[in-house]
Copies of this chain bind each other. A is one copy, B any other.
Amino acid sequence: MATGAVDIHTHIVPVSFPAYAGRHANVRWPSMAPGHDCRHGNVMIAGKVFRTVSDECWSIERRLEVMEASRVGCQVLSPMPELLSYWLEPEDAQTLGRHVNDTIAAMVADGAGRFSGLGMVPLQDPDLAVRELEHLMKSGGFRGVEIGTNVNGVSIADPRFAPFFQAAEALDAAIFVHALHPAATDRLIGPAPPALVLFPCETATAIASLIMGGIIGRHPKLRIAFSHGGGVFALVLPRLMHGWKLMPGMKEKVPEAPATQARRLFYDTLVYDKDTLGFLIERFGKTQLCVGTDHPFLIEERDPVGAVETLGLEPADQELLLSGNARRFLGETA
């Protein structure tokens, strides 16, 4: 196992996609078109450039260069969230997911211990998702899966997804929850893309829903982490606690305090601000934060280790943030 920091929030895109061979029409199936130079490609979806990506998305060598520079010993690879494909027919999403998962498994296998893998499952069909999760965890190349905060607008805390979380706990699969297709985009005015302002709200709503909807309470061994420091959940929590204590019937439905449940979840450090990171550590516990960077996308944190070091923590606590917590989240240590 590599030493150094463990980055739980990095994404991959396969260098190419198979042609669509399914039986549906007008499928939002991705393809890769050449970029402006040999080191870039354009991910095409529905005839448009979804995102121009660099070869860091698929090249082990290029990633290792970046990891060297940023002092990251191990990257956890997960799909670019738009590849999660909840909007495809389940069998199409399964086919695409297998291609993405094979890509991740190959990178992990070829990466000399520098990579761990989080795959994807077609959560739009919960039964199929459970079967894919079993298949994936038995394959040996994965620590767990990445999922979105919602599936075509339905919260992952909706009861229909309960069997998936139950299976994840039983299979000892780590779950990394990434904001996806946030709500309320029509209420955001100005040039900031929804990912900047609404991802944090979307993630917080998902966490609150998983806690208040009972998923976290029912699965105490579930290892689940949330992108972008849990979004804005750290500031939602005091208000949620105030209501939980005060409002009739709340404690009967949710016996364990939301703040207690929140301190069992994992969160990445991708908040771009020292004071915010310190605040999250106080709120969620020094045992619950893991390095996350969003590598290799534009918005990535380029000095994730420095961001932790600047907090001036005790060496043992710093080690928890840099790697110990991530290894616990991934199930590599107890």
Residues of A within 8 A of B (CB): 150, 153-155, 157-158, 182-184, 186-193, 196-202, 204-206, 208-214, 228-229, 231-232, 234-236, 238-244, 246-247, 249-250, 253-254, 271-273, 275-276, 279, 282-283, 298-299
- Chain B hits for A271, CB < 8 A: 235, 238-239
Identical chains bound together, number: 2
- Chain B hits for A198, CB < 8 A: 205
Given contacts A190-B208, A208-B197, contact A238 B272 (CB under 8 A): yes
Contact present for B189 and A246 (CB under 8 Å) = no
- Chain B hits for A299, CB < 8 A: 242-243, 246
- Chain B hits for A212, CB < 8 A: 188-192, 197
- Chain B hits for A187, CB < 8 A: 150, 153-155, 183, 202, 205-206, 209
- Chain B hits for A214, CB < 8 A: 190
Q: Which residue of B lies closest to A158 (CB)?
A: B189
| Most B CB within 10 A of own CB, among A210, A279, A283, A298 | A279
Contact present for B234 and A205 (CB under 8 Å) = no
| Most B CB within 10 A of own CB, among A182, A188, A199, A271 | A188
CB proximity of A261 to chain B, nearest CB, Å: 12
Instruction: Give the residue of B155, B208, B234, B279 whose beta carbon is less than 8 angstroms from that of A192.
Output: B208
Dominant SS among interface residues on chain A? helix
Contacts beyond the supplied A188-B208, A197-B208: 12 A-B pairs with Cβ under 8 Å: A150-B187, A153-B186, A184-B201, A187-B209, A189-B209, A190-B213, A191-B212, A192-B240, A197-B212, A197-B236, A232-B236, A239-B271
The 7 closest A-B pairs by CB, nearest first: A190-B212, A232-B232, A183-B184, A238-B273, A201-B201, A189-B213, A189-B209
Contact present for A204 and B232 (CB under 8 Å) = yes
Q: Which residue of B lies closest to A240 (CB)?
A: B196
Contact present for B235 and A234 (CB under 8 Å) = yes
Distance of A231 Cα from B295 Cα, bound (Å): 29
Distance of A271 Cα from B279 Cα, bound (Å): 15
CB proximity of A280 to chain B, nearest CB, Å: 9
CB proximity of A97 to chain B, nearest CB, Å: 23
Distance of A238 Cα from B231 Cα, bound (Å): 11
Distance of A153 Cα from B154 Cα, bound (Å): 20
Given contacts A238-B272, A275-B282, contact A253 B191 (CB under 8 A): yes
Distance of A213 Cα from B197 Cα, bound (Å): 13
Q: List 15 A-B contacts (CB under 8 A).
A: A155-B187, A157-B190, A184-B202, A187-B209, A189-B212, A190-B213, A190-B253, A191-B249, A191-B253, A192-B244, A201-B201, A228-B239, A232-B232, A242-B272, A243-B299
CB proximity of A164 to chain B, nearest CB, Å: 14
CB proximity of A217 to chain B, nearest CB, Å: 10
| Most B CB within 10 A of own CB, among A199, A206, A229, A240 | A240
